Amino acid sequence: MQNLNTILLQFDIPPGTYEWDFIQAGLINSTYKIYSIGGGNSYLLQQINTNIFTEPERISRNVAIISNYLKHHFPDYLFGHFIPSKTGNTLVVDNGNTWRMQPFFENTYSINTIQTVEQAELTAYEFARFSAMLSNLDSSTLTPAIHDFHNLELRWNQFLAALKSASEERLATAQNEIVTLHNFQHLVGMYTDIVSNKLLPLRIIHADTKINNILFDVATHRPLCIIDYDTIMPGYFISDLGDMLRTMLCIGDENCNDKKQLLIRNDFYHAIIRGYKNGMDGIWSSLEDRYVDYAGQFMTYMQALRFLTDYLNQDIYYKINYETHNLDRAKNQIYFLNQLSSL
Ligand code: GN1
Ligand code: MG
C-alpha cells in the first residue's frame, strides 16, 4: 500500500500520528480512511483520477458553492467539505498525483445493497431532498466536472465509435450484448426529445446516486448524509431517480454473478418513487411525473452502454478485477433493463 505520509504532511498531519486503510469505494478514484493513532478525528483522503476528472478544481469550486449555500439556507444539513492544505488549497498535487481530504463522518456506515423497503424509501427521499434544497440556487453557477456526463446521445455515439475500433475478439465475445443494446436505441430518441423540446426542468442533481453514496447512522439506521460530490451538476431528475432504481431494486450489485440476485423487487420500485417524490415536495412537476418509468431504463441503459463501451475499448475507464469484468457488468445491466422495460 502506498506511503501517504508526504501527502498527509501537506495537510499538516505529522508522520507517525495517523494510520490508513484503503477503502473499496467507487470505480474511479482511490479512497483511504485516515485514522488517528491517538484517537483524534478521522479523514477520508482521495487520490483523484485525473484521466477522468481532468480539472478537479471544478469539483472543489462546485462543492464550495453548494456548501456555502447550504450553510446559509439549511445550516443543520450535514454536508462534507474539502479540508485546505497548508498552502490553503484543497487540492494537493504530489508527484503528478492529485489528492484531497475531507472529514470522515463517525458512527456511520455505507451499504452496497439495500435490504429493506424502508431503507430504499428513505434513501430516495434523501437524494430528492438534496436537489430540492438546491432548487433556488442558480444551476448555471456550477461547472460540470465532466462535460455531457449523462448525455445519452453522447454515450450512444461513444458506443458506436468503440464498435468501430474494437478488436475482433472483444466484438465476438460481446456480440449478443451489442445486438441487445441496438434494440433499445429508442431510449436514446426519448432522451433527445426531452433535451431538444425542454420537456424536463433543469435541476441541480447529484448524478451518482448509487446506494453506496449515502451514509447511514449506526444508531438510527437512517440516512445521515449523502457523499461523493464529484458529479453534482445541472441535470434532470431522471439521472438521480434512475440510478437509484438501477442500484436499489435488486439485491445484487452491478458486479454480482448470480442472476437470481438481479430480480426486481416490485415493492421497492414503488417505495423509491414514493420517497423521491416526497423529497421533492413542493417543486415536483407533472412533467416529471411522465418520465418516472423512463428514469430507471435511461440510467440502466446508459450504464450498460458505458460498461460495454469500456470493454470494447480494452478497459480504459473503469477499474476491473478480471478480463471480462466490464462485459459481465454490461450483461447484468442488460438483464436488469429487460425486466425494467417490461414492468
Ligand atoms: C463511477 O466511481 P464511482 O463508483 O463513484 C461512475 C458513475 C457510474 C459508476 C458505476 C465519474 O462512479 O457514473 O455510475 O461508476 N463515475 C464516473 O458503478 O464516471
Ligand atoms: Mg462517484
pLDDT tens-digit map of 24-59: 777 889 999 999 888 888 999 999 999 999 999 999
Q: Which atom of ligand 1 is nearest to the CA of 146?
A: 11
Question: Distance of CA 140 to CAs 117, 136, 212, 234, Å?
Answer: 35, 11, 28, 7
C-beta of 240 in contact with ligand 1 (< 6 A): no
* pLDDT, position 184: 98
For the entire predicted model, the pTM comes to 0.94
Judged by DSSP in three states, 227 sits in coil
Report the separation in Å between the CA atom of 99 and the middle of ligand 1, taken as the mean of its atom positions: 18
Quick: pLDDT tens for 188-227: 999 999 999 999 999 999 999 988 899 999 999 999 999 9
Q: Is the pLDDT of residue 323 over 90?
A: yes
- Minimal-distance CA residue to ligand 1 atom 5: 26
Answer yes or no: are the C-beta atoms of 223 and 215 closer than 8 Å.
yes
Tell me if residue 217 falls in helix, strand or coil: strand
Please, which pLDDT band fits residue 1 given cuts at 50, 70 and 90? low
Q: Is the CB of 228 under 6 A from ligand 1?
A: yes
Give the mean model confidence (pLDDT) for residues 225-237.
95
Burial class (CB in 10 A: 0-12, 13-18, 19+), 139: middle
Taking the centre of ligand 1 as the mean of its atom positions, its distance from the CA of residue 26, in whole angstroms, is 6
DSSP 281-296: TTT--HHHHTTHHHHH
Q: Tell me the CA–centroid distance for residue 172 and ligand 2, in Å.
A: 31
Contact 201/288 with Cβ under 8 angstroms?
yes
- How far apart are the C-alpha atoms of 292 and 243, rounded to whole Å? 12
For 211, other C-beta atoms within 10 Å of its C-beta total 19
Atom of ligand 1 nearest to the CA of 26: 4
